[in-house]
Amino acid sequence: MQKGSRPFSMSFIDTAPSAQPASLRPASAVSSSPEVLSLGADVLPEYKLQAPRIHRWTILHYSPFKAVWDWLILLLVIYTAVFTPYSAAFLLNEEQEEKRWDCGYSCDPLNIIDLIVDIMFIIDIIINFRTTYVNVNDEVVSHPAKIAIHYFKGWFLIDMVAAIPFDLLIFRSGSDETTTLIGLLKTARLLRLVRVARKLDRYSEYGAAVLFLLMCTFALIAHWLACIWYAIGNVERPYMEHKIGWLDNLGDQIGKRYNDSDLSSGPSIKDKYVTALYFTFSSLTSVGFGNVSPNTNSEKIFSICVMLIGSLMYASIFGNVSAIIQRLYSGTARYHTQMLRVKEFIRFHQIPNPLRQRLEEYFQAHL
């Protein structure tokens, strides 16, 4: 351990009965393992340099396998956060349900991908039951029973709900509300974002990372709101006597009017999604050009909610940007203050030019 670094008193507990305490282990048993990029790791503590003897089929939470697996699950969660609301709003309709009834569940490639994602989430639950953790005493717990209890008290419920393949369980149920129910239940996968947000919080000390995460969050929320905006117009439209919703106005504007006798009539999915996303971005940023506007009461109430969300996001983004800029300026001001003191010191003691140049170069490189 380097001089001046904070000592770690972590040790491995609840291992096999024949395991030797870490404090009595000979020096040959200590091996250095490479530091890996893990979503749950901060620095490389002393316990990572040990060679622990753990239960069979137990995974160390800082192992390279667990690090790669966490990033894979992160990518699957991002896929879920983007495609699940889009699929629930735009792709689940009566025509799609009839097609699935005729050719089966595997006729749509997205259904196969969703099934693979569900299987990966279930495997992740199994892996979490066999992954070590650090308790409040800074000790690595590897006993399977204690790991299971810790996981049950933590993220098990959220992970379990997010991994249930609702669309496969209620496939061909014969209910008239099947399509709407599938769309609502599939959004339960978004619960995994809570866990990802906690893991990404370790990057909050980096200004560029904070700005990137804020912009990604802004775009993701706009995407979700666009899906809801379309769902409102699509659900209301069959029950309106006078077709004044934003979908009918869009069809009139682009020359693709709806025909109630033809389910394939009207704007394409691409037209509807791009227009919905354009409306949510213009509303969240308070631009509001007015070419896409709410007309029904439901659309107006939703627009009010979007404006409120946009104002909160504006405050959050501008607050973080101001803090980052202030941090940059404070560092620059501190540098100039220190350099001014160095120059005053050189001038007061009349230091010769060769030594003066070396002092200035040294402090410019180390301040």
pLDDT in tens, 57-74: 888 888 889 889 988 988
| pLDDT on residue 300 | 93
Q: Which residue has the higher pLDDT, 185 or 1?
A: 185
Task: Domain ranges for the chain, please list them.
Answer: 52-205, 206-328, 329-365
pLDDT surpasses 60 at 87? yes
Buried-state track 306-336, b at ≥16 Cβ within 10 A, e below 16 = beebbeebeeebeebeeeeeeeeeeeeeeee
Structure tokens given for 138: 């800074």
Cα angle for residues 274, 277, 280 (degrees, 5° grid): 150
Selected residue with higher pLDDT from 171 and 169: 169
Q: Provide, rounded to the nearest whole percent, the portion of the chain with pLDDT above 70.
A: 73
Average pLDDT, the chain: 76
Query: Closest Cα to residue 182, out of 164, 155, 208?
Result: 164
Domain boundaries 206-328, corresponding CATH code: 1.10.287.70
Summarised one tens digit per residue, pLDDT across range 264-315 is 788 888 999 999 999 999 988 888 777 888 888 999 999 999 999 998 888 8
Please compute Rg for the chain using Cα positions. Answer: 29
Residue position matching structure tokens 């000592």: 7
What pLDDT is attached to residue 281? Answer: 92
Across 209-235, average pLDDT: 88
**pLDDT greater at residue 64 or residue 174:** 64
User: Distance from CA of residue 22 to its chain's centroid?
Assistant: 37
Decide: helix, strand or coil at residue 134. Answer: strand
Mean pLDDT of 79-91: 84
The residues with which 133 forms a beta bridge, in sequence order, are 141
Q: What are phi and psi of 95, to 5 degrees?
A: -65, -40
Which phi and psi angles does 274 have, rounded to 5°? Answer: -60, -40
Label residue 165 by pLDDT band (50, 70, 90): confident
